[in-house]
Structure 1
């Protein structure tokens, strides 16, 4: 059973009531504080009066119905679902929660972190995390599993992959103490694999992706199988096992085609582009990037990622006409989406190459030195930091500004050493 004090505190805060508002005429302010903080057990009569003031039904006959609705909503947060359907079901469950004392309240509140992240409402997710910290000492092991997992999701989406990994590992430690469906275990293993990939822990990424894939294959979850194959493909590409990488990418694309999943198909194409670019085969890389950039059904971030990859490869082979066309296309896409803040790294790439190709030297130096490099350092994007530090080194060398040239070549070299040792 949920701790009644935690329940009262959450409902009071949700209704924006002060302790004084709730306690008035029922108990003293200090006594209510003790109830909320589990320092005393109030009589049933007092709890009834407090719940009545909050508009809560104490004797709840709907707990089974609420539990089933919650499970339905939770599953929506982990599979591809229409966001409007997720929001509609959320409101329905919230209405039940607002009028009934139920064992499902804490789990529902914890899942709100995931809900806000699915909707892209990061500030709301952080507010919910901070709100739940006040009652987190009442969480059992199952609550804690999701509590740490969803906080890991928040950290990951904010680019703090080290913190995300720390939280995911705490969640993983809880698995032996709770009963979970295999698909829940696989989901955590998959996101740990992705996080290891972000941190360039290649062997660990392969290990966790294979664990997740083994479960997804048994569950016949082809979409998740495809995503696991993509993670494996990325890992094998990084250690230059190109044939294994291509095999995993082809498996991912085949599964995407079976499910008619455009996102998986084009994510595979994007990664095939990276592979062929890494091998020096710019022609094939450009072919795969164009598949993604020209697909109107693919999410905007994937299209912009393909466009910026095309800019880099066209520029590297001195095809400046195509470079300019892709720069224009990138700015057009960002303008269409009207949320350039969400695509800040793409915005920096577009401006960097625009200034470089138009010989706007002072603007090029300003954006790369003052904005782009600090941004890459902050987000620990070592791979791109090597690219743009080198680009600055070449730029200053061509201007015979050798002291500055050496400075950025040195930064590129040190970053590369750090990258290969991660």
Structure 2
């Protein structure tokens, strides 16, 4: 505890002059040096000054230990994703925050405040806290500097700036001892790699994070990591591993009553089954996902579109039309151009196939190419156009679209 600064704080708060506080204990110049931490005082002098201020030195030392414990608790709650407990611990820290500037933990406190604001999604406040910390970073210890850079990477992840976040995490991973890297760090490393579609790296770091979370019995983070692994196994066509992840997720999310995660789990399982050509199983999981979602958001829109396309592939055109008309209407309401174009294409294709293919080539594919959308969607449409041109003897146009699938190797 920085007793000099603490004495000055409480003396000023109580409206005492240095002369009044120092009388009979020490000289005023000596007190001034103590308050400015330019001269160390013996324990007896400190004790007498605090006694006159009606402050217990033992109580202050207990408060410093309490601050240390609360920091550890806050960090643990964030790592275990315990939302209610995080808020409770943060409030306890707020209740004694007037003491933190006099403790040894001032910068750590400000860093954990930054992490808390990021966890809560309070981006403007987090940005202001980041700027405040940046001005103080020259005073950071090595560990504090590590935390500041790591939390900046999390900030960038939340803002969708994955490449910049990856650069920071890559540097930190290189600088630190890999053996002591936390599960949380490895989870964020995997998350960034997944967002950059580097599925091999995402799986590598995800498996490392999963092992640590399993050793810690960190159940929610196990679910989050399994979700990410399942998605990346799916993208890598490692279907057996992906299915295992999603089956484990379904069992445990249902047991833990993680109702917010279940729609996403069911949707991803549906996507996997569709890639495996198990369209009826895909439809089953998509419908389970849809039943748990509110109907005015982007996730509902994506799931409903997926259901419509499956009904189309099964030639259940009335059901497909019903779904895709709702997709069209909802996409306009949500301002989602992609799914409006896709719904328009399939609805047009059920009515006038030739016009639909022209619409696909003129509107849908250029939009998806410019938006750098998932290759699965584009591959399906390139193949559709190639088949159409091939059937009509337009070989050059057919090859042109096939080349887009193969990368020009034909």
TM-score, with structure 2 as normaliser:
0.66
Corresponding residue for 1:97? 97
SS of 2:323's equivalent in the other structure is helix
Distance 1:388 1:224 in 2: 37
How is 1:378-397 mapped onto 2 (pairs within 5 angstroms)? none
Distance 2:344 2:395 in 1: 21
How is 1:47-58 mapped onto 2 (pairs within 5 angstroms)? none
Corresponding residue for 1:355? 344
SS of 2:97's equivalent in the other structure is helix
Distance 1:299 1:80 in 2: 27
Shift of 1:222: 2.6
Distance 2:390 2:95 in 1: 65
Distance 2:382 2:34 in 1: 67
Distance 1:95 1:407 in 2: 67
Shift of 1:409: 7.0
Corresponding residue for 1:148? 149
Provide, for residues 69-97 of structure 1, a one-character-per-residue CA deviation record: whole Å limited to 9, x for no partner: 333333443444457x7556545534643
How is 1:218-367 mapped onto 2 (pairs within 5 angstroms)? 218-296=215-293, 302-317=299-314, 319-327=316-324, 340=334, 347-359=336-348
Change (3 A) 1:45 1:302: same
Shift of 1:410: 6.1
Provide, for residues 44-65 of structure 1, a one-character-per-residue CA deviation record: whole Å limited to 9, x for no partner: 65689xxxxxxxx9x9933333
Distance 1:137 1:66 in 2: 23
Distance 1:169 1:299 in 2: 38
Provide, for residues 315-340 of structure 1, a one-character-per-residue CA deviation record: whole Å limited to 9, x for no partner: 455545434443565578789xx9x5
Shift of 1:295: 0.7
Q: Does the alignment pair 1:211 with 2:194?
A: no
Q: In 2, are the aligned partners of 1:262 and 1:297 still within 8 Å (CA)?
A: no
Q: In 2, are the aligned partners of 1:223 and 1:255 still within 8 Å (CA)?
A: no
- Structure showing greater radius of gyration is 2
Corresponding residue for 2:184? 187
RMSD: 4.7
Aligned pairs, how many? 353
Distance 1:151 1:329 in 2: 41
Shift of 1:215: 1.6
Q: Given the alignment, which residue of 194, 201, 213 partners 1:197? A: 194
Distance 1:369 1:244 in 2: 32
Distance 1:125 1:324 in 2: 45
Provide, for residues 1-27 of structure 1, a one-character-per-residue CA deviation record: whole Å limited to 9, x for no partner: 99x9xxxxxxxxxxxxxxxxxxxxxxx
Corresponding residue for 2:66? 65
In structure 2, stretches of 5+ residues that fail to align are 5-31, 39-54, 349-354
Shift of 1:370: 8.0
Change (3 A) 1:297 1:406: same
Q: In 2, are the aligned partners of 1:233 and 1:248 still within 8 Å (CA)?
A: yes
In structure 1, stretches of 5+ residues that fail to align are 5-41, 49-56, 342-346, 418-422
Shift of 1:100: 4.3
Distance 2:254 2:375 in 1: 33
Distance 1:65 1:95 in 2: 12
Corresponding residue for 1:121? 122
Q: In 2, are the aligned partners of 1:70 and 1:108 still within 8 Å (CA)?
A: yes
Change (3 A) 1:289 1:63: same
SS of 2:182's equivalent in the other structure is helix
Change (3 A) 1:406 1:82: same
Shift of 1:393: 8.5
Distance 1:196 1:332 in 2: 35
Distance 1:68 1:247 in 2: 39
Change (3 A) 1:382 1:233: same
Distance 1:118 1:325 in 2: 40
